[in-house]
């Protein structure tokens, strides 16, 4: 339904929201706030009101908004060279690939732009490896995925989505995928025994599904099962990687080294789209010239920004901060739950990727209403799947700032 505001009386924010509503596609349902400035964990709207960011652009802004070191790399490179395409070499790509491979211990990296492009890249790599190295008959390769997954919204990716909003009205869908329950080792083991299976792709923690954390040992067992059956283990760490869960990668909590690693979001500190797929030579070199690519993938500007973003992540010890403050945050949320169990049903998470489940109020109010009230009081978060609120502040947040935001959350929940 189109939102309208009387032009004569509308505020600047209302006018801007109306412009989006009138001229933009209605494929998002944002909170009614219009932002125009960010710094670290802070955001300000067009009226100058201050907020704590507890979404981090879905974990793309782990290093904080407009980190001066990342913006410095951006502006310096932007004045030098932004794009050549991969028709030529440039002086930034090789160094960026080397840094990625050294940090995550892989032979090769393939840079793309969006997270969805990186997922599509990983799927193509897995299939090509399956045909060329595992010996699967042409066009019969199968990839196993987890129920309630979220890997993107391209037509290829939604072919294995179990979310009706993502799939409704967009068929027909591509074959070659099998869905198994998340966090179910027995189901996975039964599926990978099929000889045409080339890979299992999974989010170490299902973020979009509501921060679903699997049982301890699930990832390690899944990786071992894949290895035993000559199946690639693909970890989609676009949202969980780069310090968010208290380790450099969420897989690091169980010492799992994926055969294919997918990164995105915070790879650029939220400055511009950068994604990457990492793998061993045996997998990556199955794709030859002309078989995959992107005009903007690996552009000099993105590479310079990515290198600075990784430096900030490591040198400022953001994963360690996430591990420490994640414990503090969940302790605060559980205190709130103990006071209002009829409102807060569950608290879960790892590092600074957390969620609480809100029981709908008798008068019809839901998690959305909690988020609107939080917004009014200066904390920005967003519900998912109706009753779940995801809390994921930038990893540069301090304990003092965290407690200040938790005080706001507590006040809103206690009054709900």
**150 part of the active site:** yes
Compute φ and ψ for 270, nearest 5 degrees: 80, 15
Q: Residue 346 — left, alpha, or beta (φ > 0 → left; ψ -120 to 50 → alpha)?
A: beta
CB count in 10 Å sphere of residue 34? 17
Any bridge partners for residue 235, and if so which?
A: 202, 261
3-state secondary structure of 55: coil
**107 part of the active site:** no
What token pair was written down for 29? 């349902």
* List 236, 252, 259, 387, catalytic entry: 236
Any bridge partners for residue 212, and if so which?
A: 206
Alpha carbon distance 83, 165 (integer Å): 36
The closest alpha carbon to 65, from 44, 36, 39, 37, belongs to 39
Alpha carbon distance 223, 233 (integer Å): 6
Q: Where are the beta strands (DSSP E) in 154-289?
A: 177-180, 197-202, 232-236, 260-263, 275-279
3-state secondary structure of 7: coil
Cis peptide before 172 (omega within 30 of 0): yes
Per the CB < 8 A criterion, the answer to whether 55 and 239 are in contact is no
CB count in 10 Å sphere of residue 93? 19
Task: List the strands of the sheet with 388-391, edge to edge.
Answer: 344-350, 353-358, 388-391, 382-384
* List 54, 104, 150, 200, catalytic entry: 150
* List 128, 265, 350, 382, catalytic entry: 265
Catalytic residue numbers read 150, 236, 265
């Amino acid at each position: 339904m189109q939102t309208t505001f009387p032009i004569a009386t509308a505020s600047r924010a209302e006018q801007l929201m109306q412009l989006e509503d009138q001229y933009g596609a209605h494929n998002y349902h944002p909170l009614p706030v219009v932002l125009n400035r960010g710094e670290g964990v802070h955001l300000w709207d067009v009226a100058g009101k201050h907020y704590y960011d507890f979404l981090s652009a879905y974990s793309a802004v782990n290093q904080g908004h407009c980190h001066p070191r990342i913006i410095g790399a951006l502006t310096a490179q932007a004045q030098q060279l932004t794009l050549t395409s991969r028709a030529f070499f440039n002086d930034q790509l090789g160094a960026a690939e080397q840094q990625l491979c050294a940090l995550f211990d892989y032979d090769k990296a393939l840079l793309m732009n969006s997270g969805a492009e990186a997922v599509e890249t990983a799927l193509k790599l897995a299939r090509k490896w399956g045909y060329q190295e595992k010996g699967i008959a042409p066009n019969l390769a199968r990839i196993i995925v987890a129920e309630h997954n979220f890997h993107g919204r391209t037509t290829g990716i939604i072919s294995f989505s179990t979310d009706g909003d993502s799939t409704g009205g967009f068929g027909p869908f591509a074959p070659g995928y099998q869905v198994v329950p998340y966090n179910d080792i027995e189901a996975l083991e039964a599926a990978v025994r099929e000889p045409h299976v080339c890979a299992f792709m999974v989010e170490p923690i299902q973020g979009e599904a509501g921060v679903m954390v699997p049982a301890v040992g699930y990832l390690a067992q899944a990786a071992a099962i894949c290895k035993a059956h000559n199946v690639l283990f693909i970890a989609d760490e676009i949202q969980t990687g780069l310090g968010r869960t208290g380790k450099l990668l969420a897989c690091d909590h169980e010492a799992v080294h994926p055969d294919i690693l997918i990164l995105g979001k915070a790879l650029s500190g939220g400055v511009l789209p950068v994604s990457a797929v990492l793998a061993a030579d045996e997998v990556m070199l199955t794709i030859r010239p002309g078989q995959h690519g992107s005009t903007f993938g690996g552009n000099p500007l993105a590479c310079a920004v990515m290198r600075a973003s990784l430096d900030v992540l490591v040198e400022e010890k953001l994963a360690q901060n996430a591990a420490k403050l994640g414990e503090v945050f969940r302790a605060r949320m559980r205190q709130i739950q103990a006071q209002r169990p009829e409102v807060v049903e569950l608290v879960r998470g790892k590092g600074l990727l957390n969620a609480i489940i809100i029981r709908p109020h008798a008068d019809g109010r839901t998690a959305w209403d909690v988020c609107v009230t939080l917004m009014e009081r200066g904390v920005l978060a967003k519900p998912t799947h109706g009753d779940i609120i995801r809390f994921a502040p930038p990893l540069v947040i301090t304990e003092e700032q965290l407690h200040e935001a938790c005080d706001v959350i507590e006040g809103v929940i206690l009054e709900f």
